[in-house]
């Protein structure tokens, strides 16, 4: 999916800007199916791969990762910070509330309809990247930093 590829590229760029080496060992290509984030987290823990943060390509994967880490005795955010993507309604109600990237859903729907109308008119629509917004919540704010 192109959207997920863009999210991954953003992750890589953010690491580069922060002078953090991108490590393939830390990347898990996780499908959007139940159990996949749990499996990825468990695999990293079993292989003793050190990590202190997770950027998941969807909020649902992020929430499942939090659950898996809790089952393994890890505390989010004090042991591992977690950030999701989408800002689904459940993101603000899970525990801890999920830091996420909010997409402009209404603008996206409008852009999609505009592109569809251009296709119907025989035109080739130009790709559009819409702005996203970081929504800070408890899953990425260490207790010491917040108090």
Return the closest-CA partner of residue 94 out of 37, 56, 57, 139: 139
Beta strand pairing status for 81-86 and 53-55?
A: parallel
H or E element in which residue 135 lies: strand 133-135
E strand or H helix that includes residue 111: helix 105-120
Fold of the 2-140 domain: Rossmann fold (3.40.50)
Rounded percentage of the chain residues whose pLDDT exceeds 90: 61
pTM of model > 0.85: no
pLDDT band per the 50, 70, 90 thresholds, residue 146: low
* Residue 144 confidence (pLDDT) above 80: no
Q: Where are the domains of the chain?
A: 2-140
């Amino acid at each position: 999916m192109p959207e997920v590829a863009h999210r991954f590229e953003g992750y890589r760029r953010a690491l580069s800007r922060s002078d953090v080496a991108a490590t393939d060992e830390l990347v898990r290509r996780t499908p959007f199916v139940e159990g996949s984030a749990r499996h990825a987290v468990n695999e990293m823990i079993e292989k003793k791969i050190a990590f202190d943060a997770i950027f998941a390509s969807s909020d649902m994967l992020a929430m499942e990762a939090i659950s898996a880490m809790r089952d393994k005795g890890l505390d989010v955010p004090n042991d591992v910070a977690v950030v999701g993507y989408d800002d689904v309604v459940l993101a603000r109600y899970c525990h801890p509330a999920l830091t996420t990237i909010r997409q402009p859903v209404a603008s996206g729907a409008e852009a999609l309809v505009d592109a569809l109308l251009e296709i119907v008119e025989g035109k080739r629509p130009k790709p559009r990247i819409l702005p996203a917004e970081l929504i800070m919540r408890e899953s990425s704010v260490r207790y010491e930093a917040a108090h």
